[in-house]
A and B are shown apart, each in its own frame.
Chain A
Amino acid sequence: MQQLLLGDEAIAQGAIDAGLSGIYAYPGTPSTEIMEYVQKNDEAREKGIHCRWSTNEKTAMEAALGMSYAGKRTMVCMKHVGLNVAADPFMNSALTGVNGGVIIVSADDPSMHSSQNEQDSRFFGKFAMVPVLEPSSQQEAYDMVHYGFELSEAFKIPVMIRITTRLAHSRTGIASSKKKEQNPLALPSDPRQFILLPAIARIRYKNLLKNQAGLEDKSFDSDFNKFIDGEDKSFGIIASGIAYNYVMENAQDGKVKNPILKIAQYPVPKKLIDKISLQCKTLLVLEEGYPFIEEQLTGLIENGYTIKGRLSGDVPRDGELNPNIVAKALGLAVPETVATPAIVVNRPPALCKGCSHIDTYLALNEAMQKYDGNRIFSDIGCYTLGALPPFNSINTCVDMGASITMAKGASDAGLTPSIAVIGDSTFTHSGMTGLLDAVLENTPITVIISDNETTGMTGGQTSAATGRLEKICLGLGVEREHLKVILPLKKNHEENVRIMAEELAYQGLSVIISQRECIQTAARRKRSSI
C-alpha cells in the first residue's frame, strides 16, 4: 500500500524505516516537514526516536555527530542557509568521519520563495568532499535515505541529500521498503577518530582524500543514475534532480530523441560523463540551482565540446527551472498562453490580523519619530514583513541574529541610537552571542525581542526561548533596570511608546521584550482544547 507523502515526509519515513535513532533540525522552509513528520509519527514514538528541535543548525549538526559517535544512525535537516550556520561541524565531520550513519538533508530554495538567497548545497558537499545524493522524485528521496545510511557506514563518512523546494513540497504515492532495526550502542573502534588535533587531522584528511576515488566509483555504479540512449546525437542532455523530471515531461510521446544522462550522485562520475560525451559533441546541462555539473564539465571532458547551460546563457542563470524553460532549452515549441489580465494585482504576504508584531511596530514607529534616518536592524521571521507597508519599520534582514550585531557595529561607528528588532526563536538561534558582545561594551543600542512564543514563519514550532528570555538576558549581563517587558496591545500603546522612547534615549544597552503569543498558535491551542 502506497502512502501519499510530501518529499520531506518521504525522507522522514525513509529514515524511520532505515533504523533512525535521532533526528536533529531547526525549522526552515522547505525542510521543516521532515522533523514534523517524525514528531507526529506513532512508530517513531514507539521506537523512542529522538525528535526535539535544536536551537540552531550548528547545535543540530553537532548533536547528530555525537549520536553517530555512539554508533546510531542519525539525520540532520536544514534549509540551505542553515548549512552556513552548521558549516563548521559539517566541514569537520568530513574529516572525523562517522561511526553510526549520518545523513545531512539540505533543502535548497531556488527562486527564493522563502529565503534570502538561492545558494546550491551541492557546492558545500563538494567543498567538504562528502558524497551528495540528489533525488529526482519523492520515491527516490525515500530510497536514497536507506542507501545513504549504508553508504555513510560503508565509507564512514557523512552523506548529504540535497533537495529543492519543488521536490520537498510535492506529494505523491510512496512505496516503503523493508524496515531495519536501530543500531546498537557502539563506540568508535578508533578512540582517536574524532580528535582533530593537527597531527591526527592530517591523517584524517589524507584518509578523506584517499576515499574520493572510491566515492566516485560509487557514484558511477549508483542505481539512481540513468542513461537513456537516443538516435539524435546532435546534442546530449545531462540532467539532475527535479530538472530531470522536466526533461522527461517534455520527452513524452517521443518528442526528445537525444541521449539523456541523469546524474543522481556526486562526486560527478567522470566515467558516466564519458558515456554521453563519446556520442555527442554538444552537451546541454539542466540542473536546478547553480551550474554545478556544468562548471565541472570543462575539467572532465576534452577541448572541442560545446557545453550549454546556465553559464552559456542557454538556460537562465538564476531562478527555478520549469517544464517550459526546459522545453525552450531543448529547442521544443512552447505553447502560446493567455496572459494574466492587467487588473490582477499582487497580494504580498502580510502580518496576520491581530499579530503582536503589528503593535510592536506601531509603538516603535512612534517612538522613532524624533530620530531621523533609517537605523532599525532586523532579522529573519514573520516580523521581517515589517519592512513592507504600512509599517516600513525596518532597514535590514541579512541572516539569523544579524540584527543585534549589525546594530552594534553601526553604533560603534557612531550611529546612536541603533535599534535591533529580533524574534524570540531567532534570538536563541543566533542572537544571544551578539547580545553578549553588546553587554561587554555596554553598547548604546536598544534590542527589541518581539517574542510571540513560537517559531512563527515556519508554522509555529516550539521556540527554545519561550519562558526563558528574561533569565537569558539577565544571565548574559543585561542590566535589570534596562530590561523591560511590555505587552504589545492597542490599549498599552501609549505606555509602550513611552518605554521605548526612554530606552532609546538611554546611552547604554537596553533590551525590551515585547511579549504576546502568536495569534495562530493561540487559535490552534484554543481549537485543540475544545
Chain B
Amino acid sequence: MKTDIILAGVGGQGILSIAAVIGQAALLNNLYIKQSEVHGMSQRGGEVMSHLRISSNPVASDLIPFGAADLIIAVEPMESLRYLNYLSPEGWLVTNTKPFENISNYPDFDKIIDAIKELPRRVFIDADETAHEIGSVRASNMVMLGASVPFLKLSSESVEEGIRLIFGSKGEQVVDQNLQAVKAGMEAAKAVL
C-alpha cells in the first residue's frame, strides 16, 4: 500500500493539521510515513504545501517525485492547481472552492473552476460553506480532510481515531466539532462522486 499526498493552501489555513491527522491514522495502521513541511518566511500569508507519504514499505525520499502523487488535497482553489506537476496521471485532486484572496491580482474565479474541471479525476466542494452549515466555521480544513477520505486508502475509523489523538488535548468539544466536520466532508464528497 502506498499513498503519496500533496497538501496545498495558504499559510494559516491548517494544512498541517490535516497532515497530522492522516499521519496519526497511518501510524495506527503500522504504516511508514514521511511528511515534509514548510516553515519560516513562506508561512507569512504565502503559498504553503506539504508532502505526505504513507506506505507499507519504508519511505526513501522526503519529497514526492513529480508525476507521482496519488492525491492533492487543497484548502484553496487556486492553490489546488499550483502543484499539478506532482499529480500522477491516475491521481485525484480534492479541493475547496472557497478562494482566499490576499493578493490584488487574484485570477478570475470561474477560470479557476474551469481549470479544475478539466482534470479527469477531481472533487470540489465549498468546504467553508459546509463548515458554516455545521456551525464550525474554523473547521473547513477538517471538511477537506473528510472529502479526501475515499482516496486515502485508510479506513474512516482510523481517521476518526487520528482526530481524537491529535485534538484530544484541546478538549471534547474541539474533537466533536472536527469529527462532525470530517463526516460532513465525507458526505459532501460522496454526493459529487
Contacts and interface: CB of A to CB of B under 8 A. Distances in A.
Interface in A312-339: 322-324, 327, 334-339
B42 A113 contact: yes
Nearest to A246: B61
Nearest to B33: A172
Given A4-B33, A171-B34, A343-B115, A248 B47 contact: no
B35 A248 contact: no
B86 A323 contact: no
Contacts of B68: 335
Interface in A326-359: 327, 334-341, 343-352
B46 A350 contact: yes
A252 B60 contact: yes
Contacts of A334: 66-67
A159 interface: no
Contact of A457 (B10, B37, B40, B83): B40
Contact of A345 (B35, B86, B107): B107
A343 B102 contact: no
A170 B36 contact: yes
A116 to B, nearest CB: 11
A420 B105 CA distance: 31
A169 B38 contact: yes
Interface residues of A, number: 50
A4 B23 contact: yes
Contacts of A343: 78, 81, 107-108, 111-112, 115
B81 A340 contact: yes
A167 B66 CA distance: 19
B115 A341 contact: yes
B105 to A, nearest CB: 5
Contact of B85 (A32, A252, A340): A340
A420 to B, nearest CB: 21
B33 A170 contact: no
A173 interface: yes
Interface string A39-55: 00000000000000000
A172 B62 CA distance: 9
Contacts of B63: 166, 246, 322-323
B174 to A, nearest CB: 13
Interface string B52-78: 000000011111111110000000001
Nearest to A346: B47
A169 B66 contact: no
Contact of A341 (B24, B39, B81): B81
Nearest to B51: A170
B89 to A, nearest CB: 8
A172 B54 CA distance: 10
B84 A338 contact: yes
B85 A347 contact: no
A29 interface: yes
A114 B105 contact: no
Contacts of A345: 78, 103, 105-107
A385 interface: yes
A246 B59 CA distance: 10
B62 A245 contact: yes
A290 B65 CA distance: 22
A527 to B, nearest CB: 11
B67 A349 contact: no
A350 B36 contact: no
Nearest to B116: A341
A59 to B, nearest CB: 22
B41 A249 contact: no
Given A171-B34, A347-B103, A29 B23 contact: no
A4 B61 CA distance: 17
Q: Which of B32, B38, B39, B67 has the most CB of A within 10 A?
A: B39
A382 interface: yes
B36 A166 contact: yes
B186 interface: no
B87 interface: yes
A521 interface: no
B62 A114 contact: no
B33 A349 contact: no
11 contacts: A33-B39, A166-B36, A170-B62, A323-B64, A324-B65, A337-B87, A338-B85, A340-B85, A343-B107, A350-B45, A351-B44
CB-CB nearest 5 A-B residue pairs: A29-B40, A114-B40, A249-B61, A335-B67, A349-B46
Given A113-B40, A172-B32, A343-B81, 14 more contacts: A114-B39, A166-B36, A170-B37, A173-B33, A322-B66, A335-B65, A338-B84, A341-B81, A343-B107, A344-B78, A344-B82, A344-B107, A349-B41, A352-B44
